[in-house]
Amino acid sequence: MNLQERIWQHSRPFVIAGPCSVESQSQMMTVAKEIHENFKISLLRAGVWKPRTRPDSFEGVGKIGLSWLVEAGKSIGVPVATEVANSHHVELALKAGVDVLWIGARTTVNPFAVQEVADSLIGVDIPIMIKNPINPDLNLWIGAFERFQNAGFEDLTAIHRGFSVYNHPKYRNEPNWEIPIALMEKMPQIPIICDPSHISGKRERLFPVAQKSMDLNFSGLMIETHSNPNEAWSDKEQQITPKGLADLLNRLVLRKSMIKEEGLMYMELQRNKISEIDDQIFFLLKNRMELAEEVGDYKREKGITILQTEHWMEIINQRLVQADKLGLSQEFMREILDAIHQESIRHQNMVMNKSKE
């Protein structure tokens, strides 16, 4: 089975579903049957080893769960996937007949572990899915793909599950959408599946995350699904029932990724307008940095430090109020202002520390 080809050829979304964890043989058979009755998924998922943050948490049933997972997949005619974190996991999963392996976020963050798994699979023809690392590091994610590519693997798929943050008011794992978008640009041959379960952390927040991933042209969704989520042994708050899965998927608005011919003229006109505005922004930024250099010259002559914290905070507060009035998010404007400020500091530093001739 070539998973990558199946995803590209499948109408969006390609759906991967199943419980967070294998709990028992009957649990897997029941949830597989109920999922199949409500929605025809493409891949059945479940974890048998759970790398939990603290050792007193449920860490999976272990290898015995592999046969239960494989049996459940066969009962509905769907291939199965599980997470592996080391060569021992790989050996047991292959022996059990698991169809697809995924690398979890806590493993992706460790190049040694990724390399161990890649080396243990050399010569084996099996699809690999790689979740983003727990920290927002695009190169670390790309590096995991490269390690498998160097080991001879091309059937690779990305899973975007968000990035760890402390006590986020909205997400369990912040999506940082710009990172998977950057991965699309760097590695366009690799499809991206969104994991709304781990991003949201709450079942009631799954839909907006799933919808946004579809609007960003992601290829599919991985959604944790359990027959009785409130009694799940792990991550109960983010799992939904098979019926809830079907309801969520049926609510999705699936927009086209290609523009029809009659819309090309309109889009080209609007893109040209946007390009003209971008040109103006670049020109204004150039002028701003020239002024920053003049200020740098003055500070150099008068012996004044580059950073003027009180003045900078005054500007930030004023501009964030202005952003609200203009319908721009404060988060967006703060990032823009910080970037401009850092570039201004770079220009002033260059001027103030240039060698005297």
- Residue bearing tokens 């079907």: 246
Q: What is the pLDDT of residue 265?
A: 78
- Averaged over successive runs of 10 residues, the pLDDT of the chain (357 residues) comes to 94 97 98 97 96 78 97 98 97 98 97 98 97 97 98 97 92 96 96 98 97 96 98 96 98 82 79 94 95 91 88 92 93 93 93 72
Q: Strands, E, within 178-284: which ranges?
A: 192-194, 220-224
Distance of alpha carbon 33 from the chain centroid: 29
How far, in Å, CA of 108 to CA of 132, rounded?
7
CB 219 within 8 A of CB 14: yes
How far, in Å, CA of 66 to CA of 346, rounded?
55
Exposure of 329 in the CB half-sphere (CA atoms within 13 A):
3
CB neighbours of 169 closer than 8 A, spacing ≥ 6? none
CATH code, residues 261-352: 1.20.59.10
What is the full DSSP assignment across 65-79? HHHHHHHHHHHHT--
Q: What is the pLDDT of residue 258?
A: 66
How far, in Å, CA of 69 to CA of 57, rounded?
21
Write the pLDDT tens digit of every residue in 125-159: 999 999 999 999 999 999 999 999 999 999 999 99
Q: What is the pLDDT of residue 283?
A: 94
Q: State the DSSP code for 84.
A: E
Q: What is the pLDDT of residue 93?
A: 98
CB neighbours of 182 closer than 8 A, spacing ≥ 6? 138
Q: What is the pLDDT of residue 357?
A: 46
CB 83 within 8 A of CB 117: no
Using DSSP's 3-state secondary structure scheme, residue 212 falls into: helix
Cα dihedral value 250, 255, 261, 265, nearest 10: 150
Tell me yes or no: is domain 3-251 CATH 1.10.3720.10.
Answer: no
Max distance between CA atoms of the chain, in angstroms, equals: 81
Task: Copy the structure tokens of residue 256.
Answer: 């086209």
Residues in the chain, total: 357
CB neighbours of 263 closer than 8 A, spacing ≥ 6? none
Residue environment code for 206-245, b if the CB has 16+ CB neighbours within 10 A, otherwise e: bbebbbebbeeebbbbbbbbbbebeebbbbeebbbbbebb
Domain parsing of the chain, residue ranges: 3-251, 261-352
